[in-house]
Amino acid sequence: MNHDTTTAFAAEDLRVPNSARLLHGWFATGRATDLAEHLARYGPAPVGTARSTLADAVERAGLAGRGGGGFPTGRKLRTVAGRRGPAVVIANGMESEPASRKDETLLSLVPHLVLDGAVLAAAAAGANTVHLCVPRTRDEQAQRLALAVDERQHAGIDPVEVRVHMLPHHFVSSEETALVNWLNGGPARPRPTPPRPFEKGVGKRPTFVANVETLAHVALIARYGPDWFREAGSPQTPGTTLVTLSGAIASPGVYEVPMGSPVGQALAAAGGPTRRLSAVLAGGFFGSWLPVPLDPAAPARGAGVLVALPEDACGLAETAAALAYLGSQSARQCGPCRFGVPSVADDFAELAWGQPGPALTERLDRRLGLLPGRGACRHPDGAARLAASALQVFSDDVQRHVRYGPCSHARDPLVLAIPDARPPAEEEWR
């Protein structure tokens, strides 16, 4: 998908079954939910009982983080609540994944569900402050969220302070230690760990960081309970999740599907492919390519992203462009990010568009084996995962490119929406 088609993610294109949970209000009215409508539908958030019961309810619900990491939310909440001193809550709406629009959609359509979840998490963790972090590139949304926060303050429904922040919008700026670092007055770059934010975060206080979709689920679990939450999804992966679907499919957009839904079923929710597919990118730029025909049981994993790649697109060129972007977005704080990821990106560019020889693939294999687990954050790991999956899924194309040079589709417009690959200037991290 190119940059000119991003309107495919507009609210009017959302289509979700009647069992929708997060987006139920949108489908009930066809418009974004204001505070009065939110309170009429759900009533006030049950903050009074959150401290003693919420962590247990979320843990029994089996809610895992919806930001891509999949860490058990109840366990993280309980850990922060068990630390000494007042805690802090960060609602992460940065959504740095270029192929995702789920968090932007959620904050646009049901902002009070997210704010409820953040306030409930604060009550459960013993926090007196919530920081809602969104990218500066979405300044109009940030202004609407600030108005929503003011409306709640005037209504007297939130017992904690909620602050809306606009942060630099770089790929690694959504990482939890980058958020903490920025809120502490530093650049929006990841920091080495330990300590993790739950140990020493904002103002050196224990800090609970959760994706905004995760917090919206928390708000529903607090009202309807863990058994209700588990009625959707599978016993191993309960609940629903938001997935951004794009590429060669009939109706690109954001969809709510049961957790663990097979990739093919998720694509069918968007009307299915419009052309024959060669692969599907699952999980975005930190995800993996899946070969077509798809494994019928393969779940839609990752950060809620599926991109359908048609046969008349070059998977190696798509991957090379994505890796060039990832190489430009490193925090430049350690060797694997400063040198490893850009080197892999350069090799992939040669593989996609140059005149590669057999030595190139050997060098790529060697470099990819050195990246995972060696960076200060997970940036090199994600880049290596994407590149390794491309070499495997598009192995026939690799051999043809090595032997004959670029294929006829390598210079066609890219299916992936690749942002500007210019490395950020130092002041742009602040």
Confidence label for 374 from pLDDT (cuts 50, 70 and 90): confident
pLDDT, average across residues 103-109? 96
pLDDT, average across residues 139-167? 97
Please state whether beta strands 277-282 and 161-167 pair in parallel, antiparallel, or not at all (unpaired). Answer: unpaired
- For residue 253, what are its two tokens? 């957009």
CATH hierarchy code of domain 315-414: 1.20.1440.230
Q: What phi-psi label fits residue 83: left (phi over 0), alpha (psi between -120 and 50 degrees) or beta?
A: beta
Candidates 426, 346, 334; CA nearest to 380 is 334
CATH 1.20.1440.230 in the chain, residues?
Answer: 315-414
pLDDT of residue 4 exceeding 50, the answer is: no
CATH hierarchy code of domain 3-229: 3.40.50.11540
Q: What is the pLDDT of residues 244-293, one digit of tens each?
A: 999 999 999 999 999 988 999 999 989 999 999 999 999 999 999 999 99
Rg over alpha carbons for the chain, rounded to the nearest Å, is: 21
pLDDT of residue 412 exceeding 80, the answer is: no
Segment among 116-120, 159-163, 416-420 with least mean pLDDT: 416-420
CATH 3.40.50.11540 in the chain, residues?
Answer: 3-229
pLDDT of residue 10: 33
Query: How many CA atoms, within 13 angstroms, populate the side-chain half-sphere of residue 303?
Result: 24
* CA atoms of 317 and 320, how far apart (whole Å): 5
Rounded to 5°, angle at Cα 72 from 380 and 33? 95
pLDDT of residue 296 exceeding 80, the answer is: no
241 Cβ neighbours under 8 A, 6+ residues apart: 66, 213, 256, 257, 258, 259, 300, 304
Q: What is the pLDDT of residues 314-326, one digit of tens each?
A: 999 999 999 999 9
Instruction: Specify the DSSP element, H or E, that contains 326.
Output: helix 315-328
Q: What is the pLDDT of residues 351-366, one digit of tens each?
A: 999 989 889 999 999 9
Helices and strands (DSSP H and E) totals, the chain:
16, 9
Q: Are 236 and 248 in contact (CB under 8 A)?
A: no
